[in-house]
Structure 1
Amino acid sequence: MTKKLYKVTFLNAGTVYELYARHVASGALWGFTEVGELVFDVHDGVVIDPTEERLRDEFGNTRVLHLPMQAIVRIEEVERKGKSAIRDAASGEKVVTPFPLPAKPR
């Protein structure tokens, strides 16, 4: 039997995070939701998703996230993992750009 997979979308400091996790439950702390067993892509190749790397750097050592209920936008049970994302809450644009931008000429 395969474990369930959840897509968790939540607000944090003006950005919208979309993470994937295997465990979502009501927390022992009143008003918080536990999100654990975070799932990240493992790439051994040349192409690396910068958003996935940033999320792994920020949450890679996290056992359980305790998210306030007010910060959670949506929790979905999904069949398979999609792309994780970090977006600006106001515009919906991705915060991490896929390629480095050239420097502005002076």
Structure 2
Amino acid sequence: MSEKHIYKVVFMNREQVYEVYARSVYQGDMYGFVIIEDFLFGEKSSIVVDPSEDKLRTEFEGVTRSFIPMHEVIRIDQVKRRGIAKILSSGEASGGKGKVASLYGPDKKP
């Protein structure tokens, strides 16, 4: 029986740090992109709803596969359990010091 892996992927998106959980993460045929598939979120019927996880669930609702630019990926970890998906500002992600920054993007010049 094959073991089901869970991956925590942390990446930058619009000056925010996204932390999501998925069953499949790999480098795709499109050069320079990491592909994330099978996003994992908590039960929608639970009484306590985390607003950031709910926002991520809404943002990725109906998304089969997401292509993340490789230079925006901060970290990919294989984990034993799914945690809470969340969105942090770059300052929150670096302990309030504001030191997490994107290399470049559409709004930045190389």
TM range (shorter): 0.7 to 0.9
TM-score by length of 1: 0.81
| Greater mean alpha carbon deviation, residues 40-49 or residues 16-25 | 40-49
Aligned to 2:21: 20
Aligned to 2:81: 80
Q: Quick one: which amino acid aligns to residue 40 of structure 1?
A: F
C-alpha RMSD over aligned residues: 1.4
Secondary structure class of the residue paired with 1:90? helix
Q: Quick one: which amino acid aligns to residue 70 of structure 2?
A: M
Where do 5+ consecutive residues of structure 1 fail to align?
94-106
Where do 5+ consecutive residues of structure 2 fail to align?
96-110
2-side partners of 1:37 and 1:48: how far apart? 21
Secondary structure class of the residue paired with 1:24? strand
- C-alpha distance 36-45 of structure 1, shift in aligned 2 (>3 A): closer
Deviation at 1:33, TM superposition (A): 0.7
- C-alpha distance 47-33 of structure 1, shift in aligned 2 (>3 A): same
1-side partners of 2:46 and 2:75: how far apart? 32
TM-score by length of 2: 0.79
1-side partners of 2:78 and 2:54: how far apart? 23
Q: Which has the larger radius of gyration?
A: 1
Aligned residues: 93
Aligned to 2:100: none
2-side partners of 1:33 and 1:47: how far apart? 32
Mapping of 1:56-67 within 5 angstroms? Answer: 56-67=57-68
